[in-house]
Structure 1
Amino acid sequence: MKDLTFHSQLIEGIQVHMLPVEKFKTNLISVHIHLPLQEETVTLASLLPHVIRKGSQRYPDMTAIQRHLNELYGAEFYVEVSKKGEKQYIVFQMEILNEQFISEEK
């Protein structure tokens, strides 16, 4: 059987996993960041998802973010933080329409 899994470690503690599957209408992109649970960084890491969901320089508020996601055929973006043992995990996920279902016409 052909190995379909792609795994890449960008830098220590950040991993990207991809499993190419053509049977679904959407693709899920997921980036997991693993951090040691440290007093100096735990609060900043916990606040990060809330800050990202509120806006950025390019998309200054939640309405602008949602408008852009809608332009990407209803893409969805998630950020969450969790803790397990002595590790803190930040997960970024984006679900977008598989390009084979996008018409060439505009």
Structure 2
Amino acid sequence: SPQPPQYVYWQRNDRMINYDDSRRDISIETVPGPRTQSRLIIREPQINDSGNYTCSASNTEPASIYVFVSKGDNTAAISRRKTSGAAGATVAVSSLLADCLCVIPGLIASFLLTARYGA
């Protein structure tokens, strides 16, 4: 059976997100297990936080999602991108907003990673 990934990597627009970033409003939580879950949390999203976010690990297919942060009402629109393999992308929101796919401050984009089976 596949082992949970030892490290999970987050990128925004193909650039690694620094875990020791000076911004105090960014954090990453990873819970290993049969379906390792990693969550990137941006507490005060800014316009320059918009972009394509990718979560990956050595024994998984990467999962990507595009996040657009808009000015004015402090909402962030999120659109899913197709991912290959067994990785799936889900989005958790800090407040329930009917069936809209948007997030208010406290943006949480999470990706569930499933290990690839086979050689």
Higher share of residues assigned helix? 1
TM tier, smaller:
0.3 to 0.5
Tell me which structure has the larger Cα radius of gyration.
Answer: 1
- Tell me the TM-score normalised to structure 1 length: 0.47
